[in-house]
Amino acid sequence: MAISTADFKNGLTIEIGEGVFQIIGFQHVKPGKGGAFVRSRLRNLETGNTLEKTFRAGEKMERAHVERGEVEYLYREGEGYVFMDMSSYEQTTLSKDELGDAANYLKDNMPVQVITYKGKVFGVEVPAAVELQVVHTEPGLKGDTAQGGTKPATLETGLIVQVPLFIEQDEVIKVDTRNAQYLERAK
């Protein structure tokens, strides 16, 4: 189904020459001279890369009907990550390349969304924030908080994030999955 730039909204998926993209942000611009255009930020669903693209106002493109299904991450098996479809109980194994950054946030029995297009798996969407345990961090030095300092912490999935100095080993923290930033201590 063809759509135009007037139909743009965040989260919409479109198919253009370079692949399948999700619209992250867009802005309609009507300059004093010349025709109107739409400036947009797109995320490639296959590679995860973002790009800025400008379309003429009213330009048409194909809408990509991306399917999302509820799956549960079960466990890691060698280089693969095993997921189970919650409706059919069918198991699927995805590689780290197919998962991209999502592999840094997966915990056993975690529900996630699998993204498919024309039968091809593009990856998984993890929640916006996840709770992970700190498995290693250096102790904070007393009196070293004048500038609100941070230190690196290794989490249970192997991800390393910067955390405030008061975070100790074995604590559970909340991490933003969109930018790998510490949010807060888990309750």
Would you list the DSSP string of 130-170?
EEEEEEEEPPPPTT--TT--EEEEEETTS-EEEEETT--TT
Do 113 and 156 share a domain, yes or no? no
pLDDT for the residue numbered 142: 62
Do 154 and 180 share a domain, yes or no? yes
Task: Kindly report, residue by residue over 54-109, the tens digit of the pLDDT.
Answer: 999 888 988 888 888 889 999 888 888 899 988 888 888 888 877 878 888 888 88
Q: Is the pLDDT of residue 133 over 80?
A: yes
pLDDT for the residue numbered 147: 63
Q: Global pTM?
A: 0.68
Structure tokens at 161: 């994030």
User: Where residue 162 sits, what CATH number does that domain have?
Assistant: 2.40.50.140
Task: Kindly report, residue by residue over 105-125, the tens digit of the pLDDT.
Answer: 888 889 998 888 887 777 788
Do 163 and 113 share a domain, yes or no? no
- Give the whole-angstrom CA distance, residue 27 versus residue 48: 21
Domain boundary among 105, 125, 145: 125
Range of the domain at 149: 129-185
Confidence of residue 141 (pLDDT cuts 50, 70, 90): low
User: Where residue 11 sits, what CATH number does that domain have?
Assistant: 2.30.30.30
pLDDT for the residue numbered 99: 80
Do 96 and 109 share a domain, yes or no? yes
Do 120 and 138 share a domain, yes or no? no
Do 121 and 135 share a domain, yes or no? no
Do 45 and 81 share a domain, yes or no? no
- Segment holding 99, helix H or strand E: helix 96-99
* 80-117 as b/e: b if 16+ CB within 10 A: ebebeeeeeeeebebeeebbeebbbbbeeebebebbeb
Do 138 and 164 share a domain, yes or no? yes
Number of independent structural domains in the chain: 3
Do 121 and 133 share a domain, yes or no? no
Instruction: Kindly state the percentage of the chain with pLDDT values over 70.
Output: 95
Do 6 and 59 share a domain, yes or no? yes
Do 49 and 91 share a domain, yes or no? no
Q: Is the pLDDT of residue 158 over 80?
A: yes
